[in-house]
């Protein structure tokens, strides 16, 4: 069956199921919105759809009444127009539920470029207007990668100008690139990633690895003769074993970092979190299970196995990433507070060399990168704040002393664009070795 026909059949089935299945939750949300401030439950806004046709798009209201007349259509993380309930609705994507009706009627699709307001579409270039050839959707590649857009816009001096000049072109570029290779399975992958944020995937990976470690510990204790008693020990004690481990791994920042970046600091963090979890496991086990709680020997065995299993998982992902990249050694550059543009091997090797240097003040405090997949992640526990254009926000002038451009594989035009932009900043700019002057 052709892709578009398959896509439409899936849209009809999924939107109908979603409208019915989520109706009780939607009714509760509507009641809470009405009770919170007495304003309207829904918010409607004119958007531009396929072939430039305007339509009225509906959402659950997440802002105060008449918020549109009080500011730009885009919002920041601390926008006072967003209600307390609205922040929850936006974070969980429940405010998008009414758009399933648009999908059912054919005005939208589940996956497609997000429709923009007329004032933004009017400023599209001829190349950007190609995006209007496609049916708009509830989610798309750009929506998924710009999941933290409100935080990305947080330091912008002119919010709307920053969005129009840097965010919107990037979104259109991502969606045009995706549209050229769209297929049904890629659409399903985008839906899954939209519903399941990165931290949830990391949490699930850790949970499976830790459960496997505890199963192996129980098997070793019984010399791999898994009798009914061994199975009961595993099933009864598993929640008490996993909960402290996942809690302390989360508090240690393990759910924020990119799993494919793994070195000594991350290994020490894993060790400390699992060691502290072992103490909690002992106390929690005796509090809930009494004499059936796992003994000290089993706890120690599980601690050792969990540490090595998680290290093996992280190291395997690191090796996979390195095999797919083209590592280039980079000599260190001595500065106090450094921001690096790039998150590839060239950039992260440089950050590690700074961290291992004799002077602790020589350190990387921020990454910036064109790849939205890295935004709001923490390679080597250093945050990636967003695209390089975020450095234009005035707050960064006081936070860093130098910018290092480490994009050896970048398109020459993009590299020239980035360096020209940095010349406007009162900061020292350095091109990492291997880049054209």
User: Are residues 112 and 14 part of one domain?
Assistant: yes
For residue 73, is it within any domain? yes
Q: Within this chain, do residues 9 and 155 fall inside the same structural domain, yes or no?
A: yes
Give the residue numbers spanning the domain of 283. 198-324
- Asked whether residue 118 is domain-assigned, the answer is yes
Residue 365 CA to residue 391 CA, distance in Å, equals 13
In 51-99, which ranges are E strands? 54-60
pTM higher than 0.85: no
Domain-embedded: residue 332: no
Domain count, the chain: 3
Last residue of a domain, one of 301, 324, 347: 324
Q: Note the helical H segments in 290-409.
A: 296-324, 345-355, 395-399
Q: Does 76 lie in the same domain as 12?
A: yes
Give the three-state DSSP class for 174: helix
The C-alpha atoms of residue 424 and residue 328 are separated, in whole angstroms, by: 29
Tens digit of pLDDT for each residue in 345-397? 889 988 888 887 655 566 889 999 999 989 989 998 899 999 999 999 988 98
First-to-final CA distance of the chain: 52
Look up the CATH number of the domain holding residue 423: 3.40.50.720
State the pLDDT at residue 358. 58
Contact 226, 266 (CB under 8 A): no
* Same domain, residue pair 181 and 226: no
CB count within 10 Å of CB 116 equals: 20
Q: Is the pLDDT of residue 99 over 60?
A: yes
197-206: b (≥16 Cβ within 10 Å) or e: bbeeebbeeb
Boundary-marking domain end, from 195, 226, 261: 195
Note whether 174 and 132 are same-domain residues.
yes
Looking at the structure, do residues 171 and 206 belong to the same domain, yes or no? no
With a cut of 80, say whether residue 144 has pLDDT above it: yes
* Distance of alpha carbon 108 from alpha carbon 55, whole angstroms: 10
Same domain, residue pair 349 and 380: yes
Are the C-beta atoms of 28 and 53 separated by less than 8 Å?
A: no
| 208 shares a domain with 153 | no
Residue 338 vs residue 147, higher pLDDT? 338
Q: Where among 275, 293, 324 does a domain terminate?
A: 324
165 and 208, same domain (yes or no): no
Same domain, 260 and 282: yes
Do 49 and 173 share a domain, yes or no? Answer: yes
- Do 286 and 352 lie in one domain? The reply is no
Contacts 24+ apart (CB under 8 A), 91-98: 93/194, 93/195, 94/25, 94/26, 94/29, 94/60, 95/59, 95/60, 95/61, 95/62, 96/59, 96/138, 97/18, 97/19, 97/22, 97/25, 97/26, 97/29, 97/60, 98/26, 98/42, 98/58, 98/59, 98/60
Residue 333: the pLDDT is: 44
């Amino acid at each position: 069956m052709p892709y578009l026909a398959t896509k439409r059949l899936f849209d009809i089935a999924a939107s109908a199921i979603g409208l019915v299945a989520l109706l009780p939750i939607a009714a509760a949300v509507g009641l809470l919105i009405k009770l919170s401030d007495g304003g309207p439950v829904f918010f409607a806004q004119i958007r531009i759809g396929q072939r430039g046709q305007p339509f009225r798009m509906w959402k659950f209201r997440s802002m105060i009444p008449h918020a549109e007349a009080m500011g730009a259509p885009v919002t920041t993380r601390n926008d006072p127009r967003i209600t307390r309930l609205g922040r929850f609705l936006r974070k969980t994507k429940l405010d998008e539920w009414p758009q399933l009706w648009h999908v059912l009627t054919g005005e939208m699709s589940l996956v497609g470029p997000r429709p923009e307001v007329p004032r933004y579409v009017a400023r599209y270039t001829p190349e950007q207007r190609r995006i209007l050839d496609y049916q708009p959707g509830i989610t798309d590649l750009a929506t998924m990668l710009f999941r933290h857009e409100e935080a990305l816009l947080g330091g912008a001096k002119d919010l709307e100008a920053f969005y129009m000049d840097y965010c919107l072109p990037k979104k259109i570029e991502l969606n045009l690139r995706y549209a050229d290779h769209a297929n049904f399975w890629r659409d399903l992958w985008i839906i899954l990633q939209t519903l399941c944020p990165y931290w949830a995937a990391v949490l699930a990976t850790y949970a499976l690895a830790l459960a496997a470690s505890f199963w192996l510990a129980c098997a070793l204790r019984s010399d791999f003769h898994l009798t009914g008693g061994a199975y009961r020990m595993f099933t009864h004690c598993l929640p008490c074993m996993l909960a402290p481990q996942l809690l302390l791994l989360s508090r240690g920042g393990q759910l924020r970092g990119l799993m494919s970046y793994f070195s000594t600091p991350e290994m020490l963090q894993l060790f400390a979190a699992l060691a502290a979890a072992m103490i909690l496991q002992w106390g929690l086990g005796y509090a809930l299970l009494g004499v059936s709680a796992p003994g000290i020997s089993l706890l120690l065995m599980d601690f050792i196995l969990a540490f090595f299993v998680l290290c093996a998982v992280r190291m395997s992902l690191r090796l996979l990433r390195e095999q797919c990249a083209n590592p280039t050694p980079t000599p260190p550059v001595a500065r106090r507070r450094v921001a690096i543009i790039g998150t590839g091997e060239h950039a992260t090797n440089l950050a590690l060399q700074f961290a291992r240097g004799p002077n602790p003040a020589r350190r990387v405090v921020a990454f910036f990168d064109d790849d939205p997949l890295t935004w709001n992640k923490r390679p080597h526990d250093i945050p990636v704040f967003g695209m390089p254009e975020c450095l234009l926000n005035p707050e960064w002038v006081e936070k860093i002393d130098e910018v290092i451009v480490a994009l050896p594989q970048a398109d020459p035009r993009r590299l020239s664009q980035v360096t020209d932009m940095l010349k406007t900043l009162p900061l020292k700019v350095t091109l990492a070795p291997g880049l054209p002057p």
